[in-house]
């Protein structure tokens, strides 16, 4: 059974939110990115908060990283705030971000609180 992260558009803050909790695999990537794209279309600022505070450790295989790199440009994101990453999850997120940055220009930062992430995302709006 595929269990994807919660993904929704936060209208109040004009940001797409993803709450990662489960392990996701290569098989999940097409649907995951489809759902993210659907929500990014609603956002005038093309910004995302990825909450990994309850995320399960992932195993990013070479195929997984390649699929993410191929899908990422279709999102057209400008800013990504990563929320609640412990040192292990921060390192894992940096692996994916480095793969994505090869195909998409965006800014990403790590935050401990939702308030700090939102304040950063609001800068330059």
pTM for this model (two decimals): 0.89
**Chain-centre distance for alpha carbon 12:** 19
Taking only Cα atoms into account, the Rg of the chain, rounded to an integer number of angstroms, comes to 13
Decide which of 105 and 122 is more confident: 122
Q: From CA 95, how far away is CA 66, in angstroms rounded?
A: 12
**For the chain, what is the mean pLDDT?**
89
43 closest CA partner among 94, 98, 69, 80: 80
Domains of the chain (ranges; CATH) run 6-122 (3.30.750.24)
Predicted confidence at residue 125, as pLDDT, reads 64
Q: Does residue 1 register a pLDDT over 50?
A: no
pLDDT classification of 18: cutoffs 50, 70, 90: very high
Backbone φ and ψ for 92, nearest 5 degrees, come out as: -65, -40
Q: Does residue 124 register a pLDDT over 50?
A: yes
Predicted confidence at residue 24, as pLDDT, reads 81
């Amino acid at each position: 059974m595929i269990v994807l992260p919660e993904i929704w558009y936060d209208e109040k803050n004009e940001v797409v939110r993803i709450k990662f909790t489960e392990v996701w695999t290569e098989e999940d990537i097409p649907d995951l990115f489809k759902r993210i794209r659907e929500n990014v279309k609603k956002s005038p600022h093309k910004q995302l908060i990825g909450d990994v505070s309850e995320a399960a450790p992932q195993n990013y295989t070479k195929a997984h990283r390649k699929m993410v790199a191929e899908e990422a440009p279709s999102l057209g994101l400008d800013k990504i705030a990563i929320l609640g990453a412990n040192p292990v999850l921060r390192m894992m997120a940096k692996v994916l971000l480095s793969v994505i940055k090869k195909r998409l220009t965006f800014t990403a930062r790590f935050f401990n609180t939702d308030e700090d992430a939102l304040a950063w995302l609001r800068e330059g709006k």
